Chains A and B, each alone.
Chain A
Amino acid sequence: MTTKVVEQYEALANRAEEILRQRATADKIRIQVGSATCEHAAGSRDVLDEFRKHLAAAGRDDILLHQTGCTGRCSREPIVGVMVPGQMPVKYERVDRQLAHEIFTQHVLQGRPVLEHVLDGPVERLARHEILICGSVRCGWKGPRPFQEVLAEKLSAAGLANEDVHVVRAHCFGACNAKEAGHFSHLMIQPDRVLYRVKDEAELDEIIREHLVGGRPVERLRMPGKTIGGNFLELYGDVAFFNRQSRVALRHNGVIDPESIEEYFHYHGFRALAKVLEKNDPRWVIDEITRSKLRGRGGGGYPTGLKWKMGNEAFSPGVHAGKGTFSPGVHAGKGTFSPGVHAGKGAADRTRYLICNADEGDPGAFMDRSMLESDPLNVVEGMIIGGFAIGASQGFFYVRAEYPMAIRRIERAIELCRQWGLLGKNILGSGFDFDLEIRLGAGAFVCGEETALIHSIEGERGQPRVRPPYPTEKGLWGKPTVINNVETFANVTAVVNYGAKWFARIGSEKSGGTKVFALAGKVQHTGLVEVPMGTTLRTVVEEIGGGVAGGRKLKAIQTGGPAGGCIPAEWIDLPVDFDSLMKAGSIMGSGGMIILDEDDCMVDIAKYFMTFSQDESCGKCTPCREGTTRMLEILERITSGGGTPEDLDKLKRLGLLMKRASLCGLGRAAANPILSTLEHYSDEYEAHVVERRCPAHKCKALIHYEIDPEKCVGCTVCARNCPVTCISGERKEPHLIDQSHCIKCGRCFEVCRFEAVKRM
């Protein structure tokens, strides 16, 4: 049986390789275009179309068009990559039809990259080689001087100028193991895709002499295999936004074609599943996941291994005869897993379900969408492993209907898996049966709560119920049910392939691995950021995100969406993981991270979230239904200038009450945005209720516009742009705003080129 699984897996992997070989050989030029909701919105379909036309016209069969998902570099999309064999891969940003034309004619046909449009460019010229250095604190030889310094010195001594070799310090490659830590440094040489492990200067000299100057890789020092982020770094390692990240869950984003199972196989797809089925022991999987310290990425942070253990050990009440010593999956003896039939106890009901929660409802979060659109097979594989671990034979994908493309890609992934025998009966000849079904959400935020989600799958209104019993005991149709988030499943394959110890070590003490954040708002570089748990906010916002856009000052970082809170700018050195964010009065949530600057009013932000929660409250329990409504009323009163200092006490009291008395997570957390802003920005609330002033000039009722007669030159632009024509004044004379008619739209403020219009 054991060899059968491996044999079948290898047969499939070989088949995939064979198909890929027929489709493309290594010496072809590849043009890579992103295809995901965000890429399409930015115009990638036009770009793809343009390349297709050019390709047809050029009549060349050595050029390939390759589709990938999205890399998560949202503000620069559409992104196009051009990979010429033997040369550095070049990525272009904000490509349109015109630029696509230039890229094709100049770069692809004539070999001259369009340097001014290179991603995060422009650059003057492309280096012949690039050296990526592992940035882990554990990496480094025992020399007296830092590795990078020695390397720079040796490069210039060898006559290799900056134009020839470009050195980049990247994030941790994940190439070392604990035993070797501190003895080696790792470096990757591009475009040759060679990863070296060096321990002293002599070895470094050899690499420079043989490889960089001589062009012959030093096989002796080469590391076998590839690190987890290797494929991603090979393509994107030169881009600062990417090389500071640790791509684990997102390791295939922007690398593989999300609709090609062959490519997924090529990047070790289903190897984790084969390993699990070969071991044929759910206990092993559960232990491995437990040791990895993987915690639920949906926001709760519940240990995944523990949840799976409970799901595995639960039994359906009423069916089981005898005492409660039922422990399926943990059979006596060796791993002779036989789902459905528990040794010696007769036919107990082993029905249980696994659900993937892809109802990404947090406004400002889009990492699950990206994963489903860019690497759906990884999530599916994670689910099959999860199904095996808990002993389920049926799983569900609960996806928001607002994500049509993600739905199409999952449908395709499931279909491909069935065709290749990876879903259905007797997967890889192991005897394990598992299948997946998609269920659509219909736009209810509360359905992210697990009991509400279960009701929704059952075809009911998505309202939560009291827990316990927890779904792991009594879930979908009364059967034990395990629900995990998309990102959790996306990490499972990494844990199985690369080991629990490795995964646990990436993260912080209590949570292993990385977390993907959807960085948005007033930040320079918006997009998906995956960093180890415990990375500081500063790294995410400043190093990777490039700080606040437009030179404004950072005011707060909002995490966790409507259930989270605002972390003040002073706390920017806070490490991000489940526990420290909780201590700061916010939560990790699913990973939305919105940057707020000095133009954002914190009372207004609190009101925004309360509007959301009030609208999304399902109405079942009174504290949430009434609490959100009343709190919103109070916030509206405050922002419209009618608030009193007593209102602030009322807000706090109501918030604490909702926290204690609400039925589900939505109600319990709905007050978080208000409570956290009340705590950190009480002065802003006070300004609103005492001085009737909005310090950020955001709350319309509390501001007005005036024209400074000293500065006004009488250009009439403001008067011509005013939608209610309340600005008067002769040409070349100072103008005046009629306050009684002004609707405070701020148009005059925006169009004035002389800073004469003042917002007070």
Chain B
Amino acid sequence: MSTCTDNWEQVEAAAKMVLGEPIVDFIEQASAKPHPESQLIAVLHEVQSRFGYLAETHLDAVAQLMQVPAAKVVGVAGFYHFFRLKPRGKFMINVCIGTACYVKGAERIAQKIIEELGITWGETSKNGVFTLEGARCLGTCGLAPVVMIDDEIHGEVTPDQVPALLEKYLKKARE
């Protein structure tokens, strides 16, 4: 990797501490490709899938390793909805608020979840189990309204089903 710092080894070691070996390897591979700076979003995806969110320390380490200004890394991370800058709960609840779900009552599902968990959009429940987010269409409009919990999609959800649905995951979390 080409460097422009004289304490590269230190920088690399510190980044490895923060990001872990696999991600550092990923960045090194990405940097070997043509247009290495274009791999920034792919790198951030990698970091987020490992840690669940992008902490400031992660972003700094990425900036160091990729040799791009930290301002740019933070700018990109902040621009895209998919990137989370705050820690998330064990399970991500994504209530779809696409048009089809909206006209079929997604708001009422969300309202029920908000009541049940005592949190609002973007927040994590006190027990650290759930984080609630709104999703911009999950592409399963035929099953509207849809709630995605982690990778699992639940279709044709009614407000009455919400408590049982949450309980299922709470049980998983306790295991």
Query: Is A402 in contact with B79, judged by CB distance below 8 angstroms?
Result: no
- The interface size bin for chain A is 35 or more
A176-184, A455-463, A568-576, A656-664: which lies at the interface: A455-463
| 1/0 contact string of B80-107 vs chain A (CB within 8 Å) | 1111000000000000011110111000
Within the assembled complex, what's the spacing in Å between the Cα atoms of A459 and B152?
A: 29
A86 located at the interface, meaning its Cβ lies under 8 Å from any Cβ of chain B in the complex: no
Known A75-B143, A364-B137, A518-B141; contact A439-B41, beta-carbon cutoff 8 A: yes
Residues of A contacting B155 in the complex (Cβ-Cβ under 8 angstroms): 41-42
B125 to chain A, nearest CB (A): 19
Query: Is A442 in contact with B143, judged by CB distance below 8 angstroms?
Result: no
Residues of B contacting A360 in the complex (Cβ-Cβ under 8 angstroms): 139
Known A366-B139, A520-B144; contact A444-B81, beta-carbon cutoff 8 A: yes
A254 located at the interface, meaning its Cβ lies under 8 Å from any Cβ of chain B in the complex: no
Which of A439, A526, A558, A609 neighbours the largest number of chain B CB atoms within 10 Å of its CB?
A526
Known A37-B153, A442-B81; contact A364-B142, beta-carbon cutoff 8 A: no
B6-14, B32-40, B166-174: which lies at the interface: B32-40
B63 to chain A, nearest CB (A): 12
Query: Is B103 in contact with A521, judged by CB distance below 8 angstroms?
Result: yes
Which residue of chain B lies nearest to A561 when distances are taken between CB atoms in the complex?
B99
Query: Is B98 in contact with A363, judged by CB distance below 8 angstroms?
Result: yes
Within the assembled complex, what's the spacing in Å between the Cα atoms of A312 and B72?
A: 34
Residues of B contacting A441 in the complex (Cβ-Cβ under 8 angstroms): 41, 80, 82
Which of B97, B142, B146 neighbours the largest number of chain A CB atoms within 10 Å of its CB?
B142
Residues of A contacting B153 in the complex (Cβ-Cβ under 8 angstroms): 37-38, 40-41
Residues of A contacting B140 in the complex (Cβ-Cβ under 8 angstroms): 37-38, 41, 74, 366
Query: Is B137 in contact with A365, judged by CB distance below 8 angstroms?
Result: yes
Interface residues in B, total, Cβ within 8 A: 42
| 1/0 contact string of A425-456 vs chain B (CB within 8 Å) | 00000000000000111111100000000001
Query: Is A522 in contact with B136, judged by CB distance below 8 angstroms?
Result: no
Query: Is A592 in contact with B99, judged by CB distance below 8 angstroms?
Result: yes
A757 located at the interface, meaning its Cβ lies under 8 Å from any Cβ of chain B in the complex: no
B110 to chain A, nearest CB (A): 13
Q: Which of A74, A361, A440, A723 contacts B136 (CB 8 A)?
A: A361
A320 to chain B, nearest CB (A): 22
Query: Is B136 in contact with A462, judged by CB distance below 8 angstroms?
Result: no
Query: Is B136 in contact with A459, judged by CB distance below 8 angstroms?
Result: no
Query: Is B80 in contact with A459, judged by CB distance below 8 angstroms?
Result: no
A752 to chain B, nearest CB (A): 16
B151 located at the interface, meaning its Cβ lies under 8 Å from any Cβ of chain A in the complex: yes
Residues of B contacting A460 in the complex (Cβ-Cβ under 8 angstroms): 72, 76
B141 to chain A, nearest CB (A): 4
Residues of B contacting A439 in the complex (Cβ-Cβ under 8 angstroms): 38, 41-42
| 1/0 contact string of B100-142 vs chain A (CB within 8 Å) | 1011100000010001000000000000000000011111111
Within the assembled complex, what's the spacing in Å between the Cα atoms of A456 and B100?
A: 28
Within the assembled complex, what's the spacing in Å between the Cα atoms of A92 and B76?
A: 47
Residues of A contacting B81 in the complex (Cβ-Cβ under 8 angstroms): 442-444
Within the assembled complex, what's the spacing in Å between the Cα atoms of A369 and B141?
A: 12
Within the assembled complex, what's the spacing in Å between the Cα atoms of A456 and B81?
A: 13
B58 located at the interface, meaning its Cβ lies under 8 Å from any Cβ of chain A in the complex: no
Q: Which of A37, A361, A558 contacts B99 (CB 8 A)?
A: A558
Within the assembled complex, what's the spacing in Å between the Cα atoms of A616 and B97?
A: 14
A596 located at the interface, meaning its Cβ lies under 8 Å from any Cβ of chain B in the complex: yes
Query: Is B45 in contact with A442, judged by CB distance below 8 angstroms?
Result: yes
| 1/0 contact string of B39-81 vs chain A (CB within 8 Å) | 1111011000000000000000000000000001001100111
Query: Is B97 in contact with A442, judged by CB distance below 8 angstroms?
Result: no
Q: Which of B72, B75, B143 contacts A41 (CB 8 A)?
A: B143
Query: Is A444 in contact with B79, judged by CB distance below 8 angstroms?
Result: yes
Within the assembled complex, what's the spacing in Å between the Cα atoms of A462 and B78?
A: 11
Query: Is B142 in contact with A526, judged by CB distance below 8 angstroms?
Result: yes
Within A30-54, the residues touching B (CB, 8 Å) are 37-38, 40-42
Query: Is A41 in contact with B103, judged by CB distance below 8 angstroms?
Result: no
Which of A42, A445, A522, A596 neighbours the largest number of chain B CB atoms within 10 Å of its CB?
A42
Q: Which of B80, B99, B142 contacts A75 (CB 8 A)?
A: B142
Query: Is B41 in contact with A442, judged by CB distance below 8 angstroms?
Result: yes
Known A363-B137, A366-B139, A457-B38; contact A442-B83, beta-carbon cutoff 8 A: yes
A-B contact pairs, 21 of them (CB 8 A): A41-B143, A41-B146, A41-B153, A74-B143, A75-B143, A364-B98, A366-B142, A401-B45, A402-B82, A440-B41, A442-B80, A459-B35, A459-B76, A461-B80, A521-B104, A522-B104, A558-B99, A594-B99, A605-B103, A609-B99, A616-B136
